[in-house]
Structure 1
Amino acid sequence: MRLKDISANLNGTKVEGNIEEGKVLIIILDGNQGKVKVCEAVEHGLTIIETVKGHAKKVKFEESELI
C-alpha cells in the first residue's frame, strides 16, 4: 500500500515531517475522517485524489515512462 498514516495534532493546523531528498510527497489532511495520510507522487504521470460528497475516498496513481 502506498498510503501511510501519520500522526498529527488535529486540534491545530500543524503537521511536522521531514523532506526526503529526491522525492515528492503528497500530504492529505482529511478533517472529515480525522486522518492524515502521506504518499509519494509517481515519477512520471498523475497522482489523483478522488472525493465523494466532500470526503477523500481514493488515490489513483497513473504512471508512464519517458521514451
Structure 2
Amino acid sequence: MLIASRDAVIGPHERALWSSTESGKELRPDGDYILGHLMYGKGAAGLPSPIDRIALDPFDPQFGPAAAGP
C-alpha cells in the first residue's frame, strides 16, 4: 500500500485509489498482484452487511466456538 499525493504518477499495477478530501492524499494498493474485488457497503460503525458473517481470525482473543454463531 502506498500513501501518495493526488498528483503522483499512477503506477502500472495500481488498480484502485481511495482519495481523502481532507488530506489531499490517496491510498493506493500497489503490487504485481491483482486486486480481486472492491466493494462499497453502507453500514454503521461495524462491518457492512455483505461481510458481517466472516469468521473471526483464529488469533483474535474472542475466537472460539461461541463466536462461530448458530
Query: How does the TM-score come out when normalised to structure 1?
Result: 0.34
Q: Tell me which of the two structures has the higher relative contact order, counting C-alpha pairs closer than 8 angstroms and 6 or more residues apart.
A: 1
Q: What is the TM-score of this pair, normalised by structure 2?
A: 0.33
From the CA coordinates, give the structure whose radius of gyration is larger: 2
